[in-house]
Each structure stands twice: as C-alpha cells, then as structure tokens.
Amino acid sequence: MAEFSLQLNEDQQQLQSWVHEFADTVLRPAGEEWDEREETPWPILQEAAKIGLYGMDFMAQALMGDPTGLTLPVTIEELFWGDAGIGLSIFGSGLAAAGIAGAGTPEQVMEWVPQCYGDADDVKLGAFCVSEPDAGSDVSSLRTRAVYDQASDEWVLNGTKAWITNGGIANIHVVVASVDPELKSRGQASFVIPPNSKGLSQGQKYKKHGIRASHTAEVVLEDVRVPGACLLGGKEKLDARLAKARDHQRTGEKQPAMATFESTRPAVAAMAVGIARAAYEYSRDYAKERQAFGKPIIMNQAIAFMLADMVTEIDASRLLVWRAAWLANNGGYTNAEGSMCKLKAGRTATWVTERAMQILGGYGYVREYPVERFHRDAKIMDIFEGTEQIQQLVISRAISGMRIE
C-alpha cells in the first residue's frame, strides 16, 4: 500500500509544473478560439501527442506507474485549469481506454487502447458509448442490442447512442449493448467497434452550452458487424456471467458501464477542480486590480470573504478527489468516496464560477473575459458521468446498505 501524503513526490511535482506550463502557454490562449469554433482542436491534440501528454504511454505511466493514484488528478486539474473544452478533447479518449482496460483481456487492451490515441503524426480519438436518447442515468434500460451470429462468429449491433464525446469522429468506439434485455443491466456487455466499420455513423452533433471545443454527437449503429474477438472479456466469460444472472445468482461483477464510471469519477472530479481554480484565481487577481469607490474591490469584505469561501470549497474538493484517487489504487472505496468527490467537485465548479462572474461584474458576463466561459464549462460537471442526483443515490445506498430509490 502506498502512503497517503499531501506532499506530492518529486516526479509528481515535476509533472505538475510541466503540464501547468503547457496549459498556460498552449491551452489558455487557445480556449476562446476553439470555444467559438465548436470543433475538436486537432492541432493542439497533435502538440500534446508530440510532447508525450496525449497517448497510451502517458496514460499507462500515470495510472500504472503511480501507486498513490494522485498523478492523474494532478495532471487533469492543470489541463482543465488551462481550458476545459480542450482539456476534454485531450482526455475524452481516456474514457474509452478505461472501458477497454476495465472489461477487456490483456490482449484486447494491448490491441485496442493504442488505437484510441494513434501517434503524434496521426492522432486518433476514442469514444465510450453508453448513453441513449431514452437511457442516461438509467443505464439498465439501454435499447442498443448485440446479437451473436454463431455461423460467422460475429456480433451484430443495432441502436442509437446519444451525447457521445468524440462520437462519430473517433477511431475506436466502445459500445455498451444489451445481449439479453430480460436481464437488464446484468445482460449487458461492451464491444469494440474497429475503425471504418460499416453501419456506424454520426448522427446529430450537439450545439452545447459549454466545453464546446469537445465534440459531442449521436452515434448510430445499423447492422454493425464486428468479429467475436471484439466482445470485451470474451464469450466464455460473458456466457458464464449470463448463466449466473439467469440463475438469479450474484455474479460478483459490476455492470460494465457502471464499473468504468466508478473508476473514472475522481478523474472527472479533478476536471471540475481545475475549472473552479481557474475562475477563482482569475477573479482574485481581478479583485486586487479593479478599483471602485477609490480602492481595490477586494478591500471590501463582501468580495474578500467570497474569495475565501471559494478557495476553501476548492481545497475541500481537491482533498476529496485525492482521497478517492488514493483509495481507488489502495484497497478500493469503502463508502462511495468516488461519488462523494464527484458530487462535491461538480457543485464547487458550478458555484465558484458563478461567484467569479459576480466579482467581475459586467466583465464577468461578456466573452472578452474568460470567466463567462469558465462558468459555461463548469455546469457539465454536475451532469455527465453520473448526475448530482445519481451520485447522491450511490452515496445514500452505501451509507444505508439499503436500496434507496
């Protein structure tokens, strides 16, 4: 077990300042442009890949080379401090990679995860496709179907996925589909859809409130045929799991989408901390400069105390994120700590960015200043990877041991 320490080790400190430098010099100056363009910032992804910040090697090192679990949240906080939309473009593929790593065999991980990233000369993306138009929080009611064709050893997938980060433009789509609808979430499995598979297309691209540099779209699957080897974990394991579920036995395994979301919650919460810190720092510096009634506005307790509350909430959120990230690597959650950090950090980002707008007054409300964008970018943190209410549900079930509805 790694020791839990609030003192980052030397490697982590170095990484933190290296990522901060990239966020400060590349992401922050580009944030406004890509927000307006509402497009994936391919040149920035390329730059990130060139310096080794976007890619399988970085993720593997951050995840496996770090027993404390803190390296990933530290990296993510810095990038999202730079810009959340571009940050999500850089980290969106990580969710697909986590889906593969969580459910796949070691061979599947080695084959498919690198293809979620490509390389510096040919950058690629991954997409993790769970949500549907009629199934967001209620993942058990997914309608996308995967049917096995024994004659050809292929799976045939049909359905529509909604709200998919990198949907339709990704090289690798990881799709969660129902194999046996009667078993609800216990009858679901994850599939890799290889590049250029026939029948997979992009539906509508959403025009969003925030994180607009990150591409979000529907993914339509029409008779998409994939080889048997694309079933993550393999058929034998799936058959055994389904047999147990039909027998009403506990399989001991988590439903695939839920397992992925649980493992990525501290990472998403770290995104929220990064946005909140950006807004706090900007508004603090602004309050020291801006004069009203003959003195800097921070000289008023009303403003200074707001900033004191903002930084306190941010630090509290980061501590919860670090605890959850450490636990995830050292024995696992005992009391829904992953959900706690996501719940707290999402709320903090939304509240802090709103307060930052208040501190900037009219300048907080216009696009000339970044605080308006920070505020738009923050709200998604209460929504995706499990809404506020879903995190509350997970926590309340953990603390009660009862099936709270």
Ligand X SMILES: Cc1cc2nc3c(=O)[nH]c(=O)nc-3n(C[C@H](O)[C@H](O)[C@H](O)COP(=O)(O)OP(=O)(O)OC[C@H]3O[C@@H](n4cnc5c(N)ncnc54)[C@H](O)[C@@H]3O)c2cc1C
What's at 402, amino acid-wise?
A: M
- Indicate if 313 belongs to the active site: no
Q: Which is nearer to ligand X, 203 or 296 (CB)?
A: 203
* Tokens 């900037």, located at residue: 360
The minimum distance between CB 161 and ligand X, in angstroms, equals 7
Greatest Cα pair distance, the chain, in angstroms, is 82
What's at 172, amino acid-wise?
A: I
Please report which helix (H) or strand (E) contains residue 110, including its range.
Answer: helix 106-112
List contacts with ligand X (CB under 6 A): 95, 128-131, 136-138, 163-165, 208, 216, 380, 383-385, 387, 389-390, 393
What's the burial of 398, exposed, middle or buried (CB within 10 Å: 0-12/13-18/19+)? middle
Using alpha carbons, list the distances in angstroms from residue 207 to 108, 210, 307. Answer: 34, 9, 32
The minimum distance between CB 259 and ligand X, in angstroms, equals 14
Q: Which is nearer to ligand X, 165 or 255 (CB)?
A: 165
* Tokens 């509805």, located at residue: 405
Residue nearest to ligand X (CB): 136
How wide is the angle at C-alpha 103 spanned by C-alphas 98 and 109, nearest 5°?
65
Q: Which is nearer to ligand X, 66 or 385 (CB)?
A: 385
The minimum distance between CB 25 and ligand X, in angstroms, equals 26
How far is 225 from 199, CA to CA, in rounded Å?
8
How far is 335 from 354, CA to CA, in rounded Å?
30
Of the candidates 180, 188, 208, the residue with the CA atom closest to the CA atom of residue 260: 188
Q: Which of 38, 78, 385, 405 is catalytic?
A: 385
The minimum distance between CB 133 and ligand X, in angstroms, equals 8
The minimum distance between CB 366 and ligand X, in angstroms, equals 24
The Cβ of residue 195 has, within 10 Å, a number of other Cβ atoms equal to: 11
CB contact at 8 A, 56 and 116:
yes
Q: Catalytic positions, please?
A: 385
